[in-house]
Chains A and B, each alone.
Chain A
Amino acid sequence: MAAPQETTSRSRRTVELVVLAVLFVAFAGASAAGKRPANAPDDWWVTRLGVVIAAGLTLIMYSFLYRDNPLFKMAENLFVGVALGYGVILTWRQSLKPEIIDPLFIDPPHLHAFWMELARRSAPIVLGALLLTRISRRAGWLSRYSYTLMVGWGAGLSIPITIHTYVLQQLKPSLGLVSKVLGDAPAGQQASFWSTALPVLGDLIILAGIVSVLFYFFFSVEHKGAGSFVSQLGIWFLMVSFGASFGNTVMGRVSLLIGRMRFLLHDWLGLGP
């Protein structure tokens, strides 16, 4: 005789299967109910088939909110496979074909043009090919030449640019308070108290934030007394920053849901204004 828990599980599974069958029938009915517009092009059915498949996959992906299930796993694997296949085709069509195949074998009008193109492109082609030697244990060391060049080139370019963009340029707003206090008002302009005070207050907050957050990550001095206060202030600034990031993340995710919902309601079911 089956245990009570096993019986409950089996009956629940039966209910879930019945609900799934009803949902499938409802999905098929809703998909078939889509009417062809009067001025629809000849290939309307192809587009409609794409919409129905996309709607089905969207609903399957959202079924995860109820529970992990085989349909979700299938859709997940399908997505990974399609994304990989799409990536391979994109790399071929957007990079390899226009950068190597077309200029060397399709476009050049004569042999001289071929040799000119080959001379221009041989170094990148060889360095790119060397990267592929990573798949071989014996020849893998050859890929280091490409990596060496990439790292050297990247570091050489990015170090001065990073210092300029992320440090020197960012010092400007951090020192805005100093320039406002020391700088003269533009000739002919009579600044009001509030128009001067509010930006100065903003600069003060920025300055306090920078100093306190930097101090929070400064571990050479024990954070006690006044140091503890500054460190705590740094934590508050960080928390506000994380809150802003979290709020924006929620907004971004809701936007994605709005997009899917609009697709299901408007494009698939034909509802709404």
Chain B
Amino acid sequence: MGGDDALLARLRAGDEAAFDALVAQHDAVLRRVARTFVPTPALADDVVQETWLAVIRGLDSFEGRSSLRTWIFTILANRARTRAAREARNLPFSAIEPDTPTVDPAAFGDDGRWRSAPPRLDVDPESNLLTGELRAHLLDAVEQLPANMRAVITLRDIVGARPEEVCDVLGITDGNQRVILHRARARVRAALVPLVEVSA
């Protein structure tokens, strides 16, 4: 990340405005990611606070091998997992369930084709985004996902992190990252389908 060097120099020099801007930029996103690891908002707040303190203390030893953001997210993920383990809510992160299909097999006939056209979500033809009503339910759908899917889809699709960044932060392989993302998106779509069918 190009701007990191200059920003890092300012942070190391104790530039408060630079630090405040860093917090403003990342704090809410960190909270959102933390929530994918720990069961309550209060715990997430603790983890985010610990993360910021570790960032402040670690500024001098940060070697810049990853971007500043990746480094901060990695600290967060490690702290959050430690905390989740302490809360005995820990699940082995890279444990992916066996190869289950992402779409209900009953939707396909013996020839592997759709039995009937699959339901469609309401998509705005101009923006190619979901319509407002469905978008209002998106975060709920994400919250219902298992922890590993929630973490990956949050980082990739909500935060906009790159695949390599997600692998670094979560300590998973690129292949796993993609499989988890694949299932997460399919499940979010499946969770929204009934909302369309009801309103139609």
Do A and B assemble together? Answer: no
